[in-house]
A and B are shown apart, each in its own frame.
Chain A
Amino acid sequence: MSKEPGAVHFVLDAAAGTAAVAAIGAPAISKAQSDVIRIGHLTPRTGFLGPLGEYAVQAVDLAVDEINAAGGVLGRRIEALKEDSVNPQTASTKAERMIERDRVACIVGEISSASCLTIAQVAQRTRNLFINTGGNSDALRGSNCNRYMFHVESQNSMYVKTVGRALLAQNMVKGKRWYSLTADYAFGHDLLKVAKRFMEQNGGQFAADELVPTDFSDFSTMLTKIRSARPDMVVSNLAGVQITNFLKQYAEFGLTFPVAGFGFDTAVAWGAGSGNFFGTWPLVWHHLIDTPGSKRFVQAFTARYRRPPENQAWGDYVAMKILAQSMNEIRSTEAVKLIEHWEREPKFDVLKTREGYFRKYDHQMMHEMYAVEALKPNEIKNQWDIYKPSAPTPGANEPLDAIGSTPEENTCTMSA
């Protein structure tokens, strides 16, 4: 998350960093105990991505309890050390401490693509594993890919191709003019690039593409411009609670152009309020998926936290489960051995119809994705089931990597 320079932000960030450093340094954490395997969990828990981070943390707690109840890993309990990653600088400092001081076996988490990059650099330097559960940018799987980073979260290309297929079916691409709003930081820039490539390949064009600072909260000026530009579709490449602001104000100004988004988290729509959700959006997972694994997860999460899990909860839950399962299978917690194992592309239950696997080429998890269509206010029965999901993308007769980026689109050269 890239914040604009500002005195107060600076003070807040600096103090949050200091507080966290103090917390890590506290004597409560003793030296490595042989009966416990520690996993470091970093994710933004404050700021504009904080609402999503909360789901991630809850999912990790649930996964850890389930793993330990099932006998742990190699006969040892696992323990998650969880911290607010705050911003890319703090994320990197905390990752270093977790690895060098707390001797974690692996770092799991993140949502901000910018913080993913700094954590991945630490992981590579210290030869430790980092599983990205929420950073979408293609660059993390391309120009910045590295051997020590694996991605449970889908890349921007997969999001764009999933929603893109739904929009092609709605005839909203060829010959159409889109007006896009893009979050002005690593994630947004990357997403816009992928979205533009999609439009070029499919014969559409952009009426305008606007970059929006991440602390931009009043969209009235933007909505006025959109109205006078009369695009065929308005496209959101925004992130976090900013999407909630956009949805609320779009409804307020009564604009009727169809809306789609290339990045989305269910929590921002749940938080918008009745009449404020519309359009077509991509999801890496949603709580209505009808598989036994998914249902079990939704039930356990809802029983514990009194709300259904959203997509970010799925990412961190599945990452922890895959990690524990793999350590048990190869009977080792060593990063190099796990990397070798995952590069052989074993299949994992990711709570969907088909099993997923980490693609050797760029370490991206290949799995099904979904496009969801907002329900009309009169079709909504309860506050959680607010959209109609598509069938899984890609379809059953296609290989899973049909929606992944190709090596030409996103070149990854793994450095050792």
Chain B
Amino acid sequence: MTASLILQQVLNGLLDGVYYLLIALGLSLIFSLGGIVNLAHGAFFAMGAYLTIVLTPHVGFGGAFVGSPVAVALFGMLIERFLFRRFYRSDPILSLLLTFGLAMVAEQTLRMVFGAAPLPYSIPQALRGQIFIGDFVYSRYRGILLLVAVACIAGIWLLLNRTAFGRVVRAGVQNPDMVAALGISLQPYMSAVAALGIGLAGLAGVLLAPIYSVHPAMGQEIITPAFVVVVIGGLGSFRGVVAAAILVGLVKGLIVAAGYAQMSTAAIYLLMLLVLLFRPRGLFGERIQRFE
């Protein structure tokens, strides 16, 4: 393998990691603040992709790129307001059942409305093409996708670490009772976090619709690796999720590059197993009082 080939595979792995990251970040945020294991997160991803197909004929890909995640985020706020909110203080198994049911309802709804067959969608003409640098070739669309995703992740990091909003959210993750004792209601923050996390899943849906098959079970396909990323990274840790997503992407990419593609899925579960054996909190997991 030449250096340029290895570099390409690293880049491929990184980008694969970034998809997981957009899904996993939302999962992690919603879990750490409200204790909800959101199995329906993949459904929001699928919803983002389907909305893109519905919106594009009217507002173009650019319009769908903004409109679809915003619509998914608003829908997420409704779900938070009427469903999640009832389960913040209850046994996590209840919210697990709730979101599991929600995921099935959402998938079946997509199947009933749009049919089970994949819907056609292509990369917009203006964003097609490849980037060539010597031996090195890369999809132009993926380059743009990577920039968008990195910008989003940086934005969320700034929001969580450099703003008053972020301070309350982080405090809420660590010790919600203390936040309440200080006279701050976490309720609006929960809404905002749900909108943010679910909106990110919608964004991933828009970004991947042109290069992945858009079909009702697409959410179910992405949710499992996203959970693995959250578990490896450690609950409640932003940098943990980022590191884990990149790690999972790289491990998968390099295993395929080495010629063992058939083991690429098994490898990430093995990675999770090793992390859980030697560091049950995950790579950067914080000690969260209510889960100890």
Binding site for B on A (CB under 8 A): 4-9, 11-12, 15, 45-48, 50-51, 53-55, 184, 208, 210-213, 215-218, 220-222, 224-225, 227-228, 241-242, 244-245, 248-249, 251-254, 267-268, 270-276, 307, 383
In contact, A213 and B261 (Cβ under 8 angstroms): yes
Residue B281 is within 8 A (CB to CB) of chain A in the complex: no
List residues 132-173 of chain B with CB under 8 A from any CB of chain A.
137, 139, 141-142
Instruction: In the A-B complex, list the 8 residue pairs whose CB atoms are closest, starting with the nearest.
Output: A271-B118, A244-B213, A54-B116, A211-B262, A273-B122, A273-B120, A221-B256, A220-B12
Q: Which residues of B contact A218 (CB under 8 A)?
A: 12, 15-16, 19
| Docked-complex contact B227 and A245, CB < 8 angstroms | no
Say yes or no: is B174 at the interface (Cβ < 8 Å to chain A).
no
Residues of chain A contacted by B257 (CB below 8 angstroms): 221, 224-225
Q: Can you list, as one digit per residue, whether each of B104-139 has a CB less than 8 Å from chain A (1) or not (0)?
A: 100100010001111111110000111000000101
Whether A45 contacts B123 by the Cβ 8 Å rule is no
21 residue pairs from A and B, CB less than 8 Å apart: A4-B269, A7-B224, A9-B224, A51-B118, A51-B215, A213-B266, A216-B261, A218-B12, A220-B139, A221-B256, A221-B261, A224-B12, A225-B5, A241-B213, A251-B122, A252-B139, A270-B117, A271-B117, A271-B215, A273-B120, A273-B210
Distance between Cα atoms of A210 and B210 in the complex (Å): 25
Asked if B224 and A248 sit within 8 Å, CB to CB, the answer is no
CB distance B217 to A267 under 8 Å? no
A248 to B221, CA, bound (A): 17
Q: CA of A42 to CA of B262 in the docked complex: distance in angstroms?
A: 28
**CB-based contact B265/A216 at 8 Å:** yes
Contact A252 B261 (CB under 8 A): no
Q: Which residues of chain B have C-beta atoms less than 8 A from A253's C-beta?
A: 130, 137, 139
Q: Is B39 an interface residue (CB 8 A)?
A: yes
B120 touches which one: A7, A211, A274 (CB < 8 A)?
Answer: A274
Contact yes or no, B118 A213, CB < 8 A: no
Contact between A245 and B117, CB atoms less than 8 A apart: no
Report the number of A-B residue pairs with Cβ-Cβ less than 8 Å: 163
Residues in chain A near residue B253, CB distance under 8 A: 221
Least CB distance from A41 to B in Å reads 15
- Give the distance to chain B from A271, nearest Cβ to Cβ, in Å: 3
A16 → B minimal CB distance (Å):
8
- For residue B13, CB closer than 8 A to chain A, the reply is yes
Q: Specify the main secondary structure of chain B where it touches its partner.
A: helix
8 Å CB contact of B213 from A245, A252, A254: A245
Smallest CB–CB gap between A44 and chain B, Å? 10
Q: A12-B220, A53-B116, A54-B117 are in contact. Are A248 and B211 (CB under 8 A)?
A: yes
Chain A residues, Cβ within 8 Å of B111: 50, 54
Q: In the assembled complex, how far is the CB of residue A265 from the closest CB belonging to chain B, in whole angstroms? A: 10
Q: Among the interface residues B13, B100, B262, which one has the most CB atoms of the partner chain A within 10 A?
A: B262
Q: Known contacts A221-B256, A252-B141; decide if A4 and B265 are in contact (CB<8 Å).
A: yes
- A228 in contact with B217 (CB, 8 Å): no
Residues of B within 8 A of A275 (CB): 122
Residues of B within 8 A of A268 (CB): 118, 213
A53 to B266: give the CA distance in the assembly, Å: 27
Nearest residue, chain A, Cβ from B118: A271
Instruction: List B1-53 residues whose CB lies under 8 Å from chain A.
Output: 2, 5, 8-9, 12-13, 15-16, 19, 39
Find out whether the CB atom of A254 lies under 8 angstroms from the CB atom of B12.
no
Check B259 for interface membership: any CB of A closer than 8 A: yes
Q: Which residue of A lies closest to B6 (CB)?
A: A224
> Is B117 touching A216 in the complex (CB atoms < 8 A)?
no
CA of A54 to CA of B137, assembled, Å: 39
Instruction: Tell me which residues across on chain B come within 8 A of A251, comparing CB atoms.
Output: 122
Contact A215 B256, beta carbon cutoff 8 Å: no
Cβ distance A85 to chain B, nearest Cβ, rounded Å: 14
Which of B5, B15, B216, B265 contacts A228, CB < 8 Å? Answer: B5
| Cα-based distance from A333 to B259 in the complex (angstroms) | 52
Residue picked from B2, B12, B117, B141, most chain A C-beta under 10 Å = B117
Task: Name the residue in B15, B107, B120, B141 with the highest tally of chain A Cβ atoms < 10 Å from its Cβ.
Answer: B120
Interface contact A5-B262, CB-CB below 8 Å:
no
Rounded to whole Å, the gap between the CB of A275 and the closest CB of chain B is 6
CB pair B256–A50 under 8 Å, yes or no, is no
Contact flag A217-B261 (CB < 8 Å), given A51-B118, A267-B118: no
Shortest Cβ distance from A275 into B: residue: B122
- Other A-B pairs beyond A4-B265, A50-B111, A216-B265, 4, CB < 8 Å: A7-B224, A48-B221, A51-B116, A220-B15
Please determine whether A217 and B221 come into contact, CB atoms closer than 8 angstroms. Answer: yes
